[in-house]
Amino acid sequence: MKIGNVDLGERPVLLAPMEDVTDTSFRLLCKEFGADMVYTEFVSADALVRSIEATQRKLHIVDAERPVAIQIYGRFPESMVEAARLCEEAHPDVIDINFGCPVKKVAGKGAGAGMLRDVPKMLAITRAVVDAVKVPVTVKTRLGWDHDSKIIVELAEQLQDCGIAALTIHGRTRSQMYTGEADWTLIGEVKNNPRMRIPIIGNGDITTAERAAECFDRYGVDGVMVGRAAIGAPWIFRDIKGYVRDGVCPAPLTVHERMEVIRRQLRESVARLDERRGITHIRRHLAATPLFKGIPSFRDTRIEMLRAETVPDLLAVLERIEHTFLASEE
């Protein structure tokens, strides 16, 4: 699969852009575990144009994570064009436009998935951004605004006509947010539309290696994108790539190896931010990781882990958890 001149190989697996999750450290981890392309956290065009420091920091990318896409969102063609040009100066491999974020503070103001209620404006922004930069431009969107307006089959053709190099489709409407099951039938319909010439990437509920392989086989998508299932478990890319390639998952990481991944995330988060903000950032990964599922009577330990305020305290809790695992295996 190619996005412009960016060759991602056969059946690539991509890390979805996620706010407060896909920072440089996490992207590098996912890349090391086999992600074929990674995305930054989404970047507000308006904030970038206003030179907001926290937003500018999101443009930081390193060569080891390539190919990498910077994702932008906004509701005005002028600011989106200026933001795309500023992003291009950071030398990403791809610029992605977010027309899929469902949260109220974004979609409710007409950006993200809010654009699904104003398709002419969505297309105008897409054409303007494609024309403004030299790097490939892609789009990520949803099936439609709600159950009664699933417009993705027609919309995909319109976006293709704007000159985008690939399209990622999340198999939910905006109204669904992240609830219910992702509907891949319409993603498959877009992919199998003979008028579509660009790669189609499917997104939504890719939580296991088996499901990823099924989506490739059943719906014919060119790539799959993994989002929430990677939080606290970046090794999912290793599992998916192995299963898609060989038909079996590779031998699982040991408990110690997985705990080392968690500890590395903690150290790098604190180094990038500071102790307080770094621990706050890593809590989302700790809360989401499947690593602790199945530990009996874990509730009190979980609370202690998520309330720890210093690195030594949090490392001590993680050490006890690892010892619990090892004791249970003896």
Domain of 165: which CATH number?
Answer: 3.20.20.70
Strands (E), the chain: 2-3, 6-7, 13-15, 38-39, 43-44, 68-73, 94-99, 137-142, 166-170, 200-203, 223-226
Question: Cβ of 247: how many Cβ atoms within 10 Å?
Answer: 8
How many whole angstroms separate alpha carbon 325 and alpha carbon 128?
54
User: 81 and 196: one domain?
Assistant: yes
The total domain count for the chain is 2
* Residue 95 C-alpha from the chain's centroid: 14
Query: Can you give the residue range of the structural domain that contains 263?
Result: 255-329
Return the active site residues: 101
Which among 246, 264, 287 is the end of a domain? 246
User: 54 and 83: one domain?
Assistant: yes
Both tokens of 323, joined, read: 């010892």
Dihedral sign, Cα of residue 238, residue 240, residue 245, residue 251: positive
User: 138 and 231: one domain?
Assistant: yes
Report how far apart, in Å, the C-alpha atoms of 312 and of each of 270, 279, 283, 305 are. 12, 11, 15, 11
User: 204 and 138: one domain?
Assistant: yes
Per-residue pLDDT of the chain (330 residues; tens, 9 = 90+): 999 999 999 999 999 999 999 999 999 999 999 999 999 999 999 999 999 999 999 999 999 999 999 999 999 999 999 999 999 999 999 999 999 999 999 999 999 999 999 999 999 999 999 999 999 999 999 999 999 999 999 999 999 999 999 999 999 999 999 999 999 999 999 999 999 999 999 999 999 999 999 999 999 999 999 999 999 999 999 999 999 999 999 999 998 999 999 999 999 999 989 999 999 999 999 999 998 887 888 899 999 999 999 999 999 999 999 988 766 654
In one-letter notation, the amino acid at residue 11 is R
User: 67 and 168: one domain?
Assistant: yes
User: 41 and 112: one domain?
Assistant: yes
User: 239 and 272: one domain?
Assistant: no
Which among 246, 271, 300 is the end of a domain? 246
User: 16 and 62: one domain?
Assistant: yes
User: 68 and 151: one domain?
Assistant: yes
Which among 246, 267, 284 is the end of a domain? 246
User: 107 and 161: one domain?
Assistant: yes
Which pLDDT score, from 0 to 100, does residue 220 have? Answer: 97
User: 202 and 278: one domain?
Assistant: no
Which pLDDT score, from 0 to 100, does residue 61 have? Answer: 95
| Residue 37 DSSP symbol | B
Which pLDDT score, from 0 to 100, does residue 238 have? Answer: 97
pTM above 0.85, yes or no: yes
- What DSSP letter does each residue of 51-66 carry, written as one string? T-HHHHHTT---GGG-
